Amino acid sequence: MPQGKPENVPDDGLTTRQRRNRPLLIVHTGEMKGKSTAAFGLALRGWNQGWSIGVFQFVKSARWKVGEEVALLALGEVHRDTGRGGPVEWHKMGSGWSWSRRPGTEVDHAEAAREGWREIARRLGEQRHTLYVLDEFTYPLKWGWVDTTEVVETLVARPGNQHVVITGRDAPEALVEAADLVARMTKVKHPMDTGAKGQKGIEW
């Protein structure tokens, strides 16, 4: 929809400007590649608008996604050094979030996921970022580590003009219900089906 033309114009009393600036809850789900990649691509757009970007990766080992991390953090440095674009923060659960690394303690992934979500909820309350990428956040929801009802309530009630993109397979139905935009990435064909291995630059 390059022209940005709505298919229907609702009788909701909102002006075009109000409708244009609606904060969006976006979900990228489905079994295929492209969910996270498209979310990070969206972060490129937000960066260009001068938005504060916060990425939160809910993965145990984030090694394989280092490409986007390095590139987006480089854009954050461009902002810091020249004022162009916006600031970028990148946090990954890994073996503990950057804001609370506790070396020596046994890692409890469920608790780490809850801690990540509490921090995101706090930032949403403070309107810290304009775009939040909650990468692979569907998994802690699916596994019951983080309460879906609480997440949906917090997201729906978030103040201001904060956009949130959540990626991962098997997005819970309540999240899909609450979302403004849901894209499903489906596989037509994948090289691993015929025995290819993942390769740098493509898979991570």
Tell whether residue 46 is a contact of its own copies (CB under 8 A).
yes
Q: Which is nearer to its own copies, 134 or 179 (CB)?
A: 179
Binding part of the chain for its own copies, among 8-16, 93-101, 103-111, 147-155 by CB under 8 A, reads: 8-16
Structure-derived torsion over alpha carbons of residues 31, 132, 96, 38, reported in degrees to the nearest 10: 30
Rounded CA separation 157/149 (Å): 12
Evaluate whether 56 touches 133 at the Cβ level (below 8 Å): yes
Tell whether residue 85 is a contact of its own copies (CB under 8 A).
yes
Tell whether residue 196 is a contact of its own copies (CB under 8 A).
yes
Query: Residues for the chain: how many in total?
Result: 204
Tell whether residue 83 is a contact of its own copies (CB under 8 A).
no
Residue 202 tokens read as: 């493509």
User: Looking at 52, 74, 172, 175, which residue binds its own copies (CB under 8 A)?
Assistant: 74
Q: Least separation, in Å, of the C-beta of 7 and its own copies?
A: 6
Evaluate whether 53 touches 130 at the Cβ level (below 8 Å): yes
Q: Which is nearer to its own copies, 55 or 124 (CB)?
A: 55
User: Looking at 13, 20, 83, 173, which residue binds its own copies (CB under 8 A)?
Assistant: 20
Restricting to residues 167-186, name those near its own copies by CB under 8 A: 176, 179-186
Tell whether residue 110 is a contact of its own copies (CB under 8 A).
no
Axis-axis angle for helices 35-48, 66-82 (nearest 10): 0
Q: What angle do CA 64, 66, 69 make, to 5 degrees?
A: 145
